[in-house]
Amino acid sequence: MPSTISRHLIVHGRVQGVYFRASCEDMARRLGVAGWVRNRDDGAVELVAQGSADAVEELVRWCHQGPRQASVTSVEVGEAEVDDRLSDFRTRY
């Protein structure tokens, strides 16, 4: 079984009100990535993605573009601690 990695992302640009969270959740579930995504008060979207390195890196690549309506200007990517309590991917409100 591949080792699990976890990444913390902050996505900047026109990423709220353009289905970024819902699209991110759909993509994460397709990739088998656990974690969460939420809007931030500063207009960015924040997420934690956890799973196999290949799946997480694929989601990170997707976040650099996002859904068609989004306009991503930058993505901050950092390591996060693996959280064994994460079993699926959800939108946080």
CA distance 82 to 71: 29
From first to last of its 93 residues, the chain has per-residue pLDDT tens of 569 999 999 999 999 999 999 999 999 999 999 999 999 999 999 999 999 999 999 999 999 999 999 999 999 999 999 999 999 999 999
φ/ψ (deg, to 5) at 44 = -85, 170
> CA-to-CA distance for 70 and 17, rounded, in angstroms?
9
Task: Give the model's pLDDT for residue 2.
Answer: 67
Give pLDDT, residue 69: 97
Residue 18: the pLDDT is 97
Q: Which residues are catalytic?
A: 21, 39
pTM above 0.85, yes or no: yes
Q: What domains lie within the chain, and their CATH numbers? A: 4-85 (3.30.70.100)
